[in-house]
């Protein structure tokens, strides 16, 4: 029996949520509201530290593969721990149905930490880029698998005009080829196949050598130990994005120090 394609389900739900959001606040209203906002915190600059490997620490309550990961879920408290222990940036899941996220979390986090905030969601159209800026994101995730070359170009250009950084995520060689044909400074390699939710570290081993050295590279998913981080550091990866390992830990601070070797 063929496994359901989780990504298709998530995208279908996301399209419904975008329609609802537009009824609440139109794209024209958002465009007007983002005009006079304070400038964003530089995301790429925060994680591009030369020889050291940076940490983008992620906050998520649930995931499609795990269900609820953290019962005692206080995004602001978690963000404060992340900053205190030494993370370079924070990633927050804002997808509502499968990750139990909320876009209002972004501004709540901005109030308690000085780190740049990455909005992790399934961004499909310009409305969500304006929305990200309005709700306080400093950077957004763009998933190459979900977006045509033209759509990627459009969303990146809009993000540039709003001052937002963007992490363009790939999982396969064909997606990487598409991304490398565009001017993308920050590339994410996701070890998780978003269609099946399976994680394979070999994805990084395969794709990383194909990326030009002038790109900032982030590796996502499946990073569970100091050995994993050391492997990525030796490869030359700029940053690792870790969420689940911290979210399921009783003592987040201890787990961060253990995995990062701090």
Query: What distance in Å separates the CA atoms of residue 102 and residue 111, rounded to the nearest whole number?
Result: 16
Record the tokens describing residue 171, joined without a space: 């999982």
- As a three-state string, the secondary structure of 155-212 is HHHHHHHHCCEEEEEECCHHHHHHHHCCCCCEEEEECECCCCCCECCHHHHHHHHHCC
Catalytic residue status for 58: yes
Distances (CA, A) of 201 to 11, 192, 196, 216, 218: 25, 8, 15, 19, 13
Distances (CA, A) of 217 to 44, 210, 225: 10, 11, 19
Catalytic residue among 169, 178, 238, 255: 169
Catalytic residue status for 221: yes
Catalytic residue among 125, 131, 175, 220: 220
Query: What distance in Å separates the CA atoms of residue 44 and residue 31, rounded to the nearest whole number?
Result: 24
Catalytic residue status for 120: yes
Q: Identify which of 185, 231, 242, 192 has the alpha carbon closest to the alpha carbon of residue 211.
A: 185
Task: Name 212's Cβ contacts closer than 8 Å, sequence gap at least 6.
Answer: 180
Catalytic residue among 61, 110, 120, 255: 120
Is the distance from CB of 192 to CB of 199 less than 8 angstroms? Answer: yes
3-state secondary structure of 152: helix
Catalytic residue among 14, 54, 58, 61: 58
Catalytic residue among 221, 238, 244, 255: 221
Catalytic residue among 190, 191, 238, 244: 190
Catalytic residue status for 8: no
Query: What distance in Å separates the CA atoms of residue 134 and residue 149, rounded to the nearest whole number?
Result: 25
Query: What distance in Å separates the CA atoms of residue 221 and residue 95, rounded to the nearest whole number?
Result: 17
Catalytic residue status for 60: yes
Catalytic residue among 14, 60, 61, 110: 60
Residues annotated as catalytic are 58, 60, 120, 169, 190, 220-221
């Amino acid at each position: 029996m063929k496994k359901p394609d989780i990504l298709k389900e998530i995208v279908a739900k996301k399209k419904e949520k975008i329609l609802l959001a537009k009824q609440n606040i139109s794209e024209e209203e958002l465009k007007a509201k983002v005009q006079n906002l304070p400038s964003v915190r530089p995301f790429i600059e925060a994680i591009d530290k030369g020889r050291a490997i940076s940490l983008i620490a992620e906050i998520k309550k649930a995931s499609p593969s795990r269900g609820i990961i953290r019962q005692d879920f206080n995004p602001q408290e978690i963000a404060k721990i992340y900053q205190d222990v030494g993370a370079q940036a924070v990633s927050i899941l804002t997808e509502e149905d499968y990750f139990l996220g909320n876009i209002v979390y972004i501004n709540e986090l901005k109030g308690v930490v000085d780190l740049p905030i990455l909005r992790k969601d399934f961004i499909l159209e310009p409305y969500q880029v304006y929305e990200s800026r309005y709700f306080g994101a400093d950077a957004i995730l763009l998933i190459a698998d979900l977006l045509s070359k033209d759509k990627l170009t459009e969303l990146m250009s809009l993000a540039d005009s709003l001052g937002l950084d963007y992490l363009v995520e790939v999982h396969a060689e064909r997606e990487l080829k598409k991304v490398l044909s565009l001017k993308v400074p920050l590339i994410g390699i996701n070890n998780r196949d978003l269609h099946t939710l399976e994680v394979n570290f070999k994805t990084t081993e395969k794709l990383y050598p194909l990326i030009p050295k002038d790109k900032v590279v982030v590796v996502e998913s499946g990073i569970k130990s100091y050995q994993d981080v050391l492997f990525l550091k030796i490869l030359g990866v700029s940053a690792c994005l870790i969420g689940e390992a911290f979210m399921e830990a009783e003592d987040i601070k201890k787990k961060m120090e253990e995995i990062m070797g701090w």
